[in-house]
Structure 1
């Protein structure tokens, strides 16, 4: 027996042992709650819940700084952050209706139309990047962009700080959380503290993943089996059921032409491989966030399911398949984040 053969066999055995050890560790962690600090700058702490499945339950907000979050909520809802005092963050991200605005593209100052569909703000802290093209690495970097965008809010920090300092309520709230008072850094910190607390609660899919088999109907369970076996989880998995990778909108010869009106990340990177590539959207609360896709060109879930099945997976789904998967997607809807009630 040659030494080369012995080395090869040894390497293979070590690889098998490593895989088995990882699987054992994963099985030991099933349904285990793990404490994990996600956002250092905002003091938000989550309890992470892990299961052996491609889709993971959302973490639970264990604690957050209520004073910072309340200030952030007030800023989120304030039109003072826009140049003409007509647009707030909540104008495009309705906190009580899915976290988006229900339009194909949003309306900014002077009734200007944006270029892409507004994603939900709920669970956005869990996305690996922000915006459809992923141009911002986190919420801290994302927050200033719509404020400075001339089509969206069209403002600047100097004017915003001046307006906020003229409001005794805001001055009092800022001074209560920071000796520096109203500053650019504190505005961003407060908004991010609020957004980082916006984790949906108690969705049927999470209850099912955590062992409550009756949380999903028979049809929804069929939909879950198809969602996994057909390959939907290739892109839509993890805690946010998406939001954690980039993907081309689909095979260009299989997707409708109205989805090819935007070159996606290519406009940012100028890399030909990024043409028609976008961040995969989260499917959390997807039943509440129509219309769909980067340009909001698809009005209902059943059409979106058929388009993705054909464009990404090469599948022509039956009416029953579509109905089952759509029923599952309804189970991705969670209750409002607790910070909206506190």
Structure 2
């Protein structure tokens, strides 16, 4: 009898023990499955920023476009070239708030970088140009920028022996036209792709960027910057309101200008007021001043302001410092043939029609003469 009772108790204890073991094994198995799933999801989650790749181009057209890009022959008085406002020495932009055009006139908006512009979904801050060729034609006939007409520009290009020969070789059927001029310039601009240390990091080389830059990239994602600055160009994929969470223009102060209206100037739709193409952040460390109005000289302060007005966040000093380190890792090298060789520099094109530089700014009425005296005028900034 006693043995029977002991046997029953043993059986019950064994059963309970096995049950507990099974439950523990099931919990461990479930935990392992969860960890494996999370690891797989982490591996499958794509990075919001993609590595950049060079573009296939026709190098003969690139060389022609390079000469046109650096030659003031397309401007009305022979003083302004594409490179005047989009200098390779300043990240494809220029180191001033707004651009100086023909006759020393100051434009209303900051020059966006031309580097990697091929990867933008539209061109210009307000997206009014569909592609690089469309964009290349705009400044020529803008009265503030190059201040001429294409028939006049074509006549000057045709009279240049070097251009006449190159266009005959590359555009035998079309000749020298607005379309062939802008096609060559656009081909050169498509060539201006700048792979950076961060692209090496994306390819698996963690030592390509500093620990601070790696922290900055994680912070950049965590605080929400990649809601807009995504893709190959770390931007350039969408429009966004300037001052999404907080009124940027109230924070900045001053009058609202026509340029501040952004895409509204193109569409006239109220919902597009203050809407701008999200700029690329590649080479951003080299393109100060920042924003469409060129109002901020310091990159760290620009990051802080964006956190405030776009994300509604007061970023800590360490966060800002790390993000700046990440942004600096986006500066890349120009391709081998980006710069115009010394022996191909165009001759002086300035004509007797070059206007008095003391021309008023179209928005502020500020005279531009002082700027030209400082050596920042169009004739002094050709490349």
Which TM-score bucket, shorter chain as reference?
0.7 to 0.9
The equivalent of 2:370 in structure 1 is none
TM-score, normalised relative to structure 1: 0.82
The equivalent of 1:182 in structure 2 is 176
Q: Which runs of 5+ in 2 are unaligned?
A: 1-36, 341-383
- 8 Å Cα contact 2:243/2:309 also seen in 1: yes
Residues 1-342 of structure 1 aligned to structure 2 (within 5 Å): 52-61=46-55, 63-179=56-172, 180-201=174-195, 203-251=196-244, 253-255=246-248, 256-258=251-253, 261=257, 262-340=260-338
Deviations 1:144-174 (A, max 9, x none): 1111100000111111111111111111111
The CA distance in 1 between the partners of 2:206 and 2:267, in whole Å, is 45
The equivalent of 2:21 in structure 1 is none
Could you say which structure has the higher strand fraction?
1
SS, match of residue 96 in structure 1? helix
The CA distance in 2 between the partners of 1:341 and 1:74, in whole Å, is 9
Deviations 1:239-293 (A, max 9, x none): 0000110000124645323485412111221211111110000000000000000
- 8 Å Cα contact 1:250/1:311 also seen in 2: yes
SS, match of residue 89 in structure 2? coil
Indicate how the Cα distance of structure 1 residues 253 and 64 shifts in structure 2: closer, same or farther if over 3 A, else same: closer
Displacement, 1:226? 0.4
CA RMSD of aligned residues (A): 2.0
- 8 Å Cα contact 1:69/1:193 also seen in 2: yes
SS, match of residue 276 in structure 2? strand
SS, match of residue 305 in structure 1? helix
Deviations 1:268-326 (A, max 9, x none): 21211111110000000000000000010000111100100011111111111111111
The CA distance in 1 between the partners of 2:264 and 2:190, in whole Å, is 29
The equivalent of 2:14 in structure 1 is none
Indicate how the Cα distance of structure 1 residues 341 and 272 shifts in structure 2: closer, same or farther if over 3 A, else same: closer
The CA distance in 1 between the partners of 2:49 and 2:331, in whole Å, is 14
Deviations 1:184-217 (A, max 9, x none): 221111111111111112x111111111111121
The CA distance in 1 between the partners of 2:274 and 2:177, in whole Å, is 38
The CA distance in 2 between the partners of 1:207 and 1:122, in whole Å, is 18
- 8 Å Cα contact 1:254/1:310 also seen in 2: no
> 114-123 vs 262-271, which deviates more?
262-271
The CA distance in 2 between the partners of 1:258 and 1:132, in whole Å, is 21
SS, match of residue 193 in structure 1? helix
> 84-93 vs 258-267, which deviates more?
258-267
Q: Which runs of 5+ in 1 are unaligned?
A: 1-19, 28-50
- 8 Å Cα contact 2:246/2:308 also seen in 1: no
The CA distance in 2 between the partners of 1:250 and 1:341, in whole Å, is 37
- 8 Å Cα contact 1:258/1:297 also seen in 2: no
TM-score, normalised relative to structure 2: 0.74
